[in-house]
Amino acid sequence: MSTEQTSAPADGYSYTLTRTLDAPAARVWQAWTTPDQYAQWAHAAPGSVELDVRPGGAWKSTMRTPDGAEFPLTGSYVEVDEPRHLVLGMDIPGRPDPTLMTVNLAEEGPRNTVLTLTQTCDTAEERDMAEQGSGMLLDGLETFLKDGRRAE
């Protein structure tokens, strides 16, 4: 598995994270869209994950940081094209419109999937925090797919 990270402030405060995962796209999709699997790799508090994976469907999760702090997250799915493309709207307190995160999956051969995650934020500080959180998520996903080949 490999990692590439780039920040692109030219189009706002954006970042893109790219990972090559040792799993077919359908397996990565399943890990991202099945509540019990998502909870195992996404640093979620037990019992906090709900995913209604369809356009307009709601999602929620409470992320737990390594120091034990918890952050409730909510939003909805904007675009769903199984098993290749997700656009998630993330609710931000005090903002009328959600922040969008895009996840694209592209298979490279029978076992490798390139995951590209992009997000544009309003400020450099928000981008840096979101990028750090997304990096932690993808680290967990890589570990889950590599070490946690759970029964499907």
Question: Could you give the domains of the chain?
Answer: 2-43+77-147 (3.30.530.20)
Per-residue model confidence (pLDDT) at position 58? 98
Q: Retrieve residue 59's tokens.
A: 């999602």
What pTM, to 2 d.p., does this model score?
A: 0.86
Per-residue pLDDT of the chain (152 residues; tens, 9 = 90+): 444 444 444 457 999 999 999 999 999 999 999 999 999 999 899 899 999 999 999 999 998 888 889 989 999 999 999 999 999 999 988 888 999 999 999 999 888 999 999 999 988 999 999 999 899 899 999 999 997 654 33
Task: Tell me how far apart the alpha carbons of residues 117 and 126 are, in angstroms, rounded to a whole number.
Answer: 16
So what's the pLDDT on residue 65? 82
* Interatomic CA distance for residues 21 and 142, integer angstroms: 7
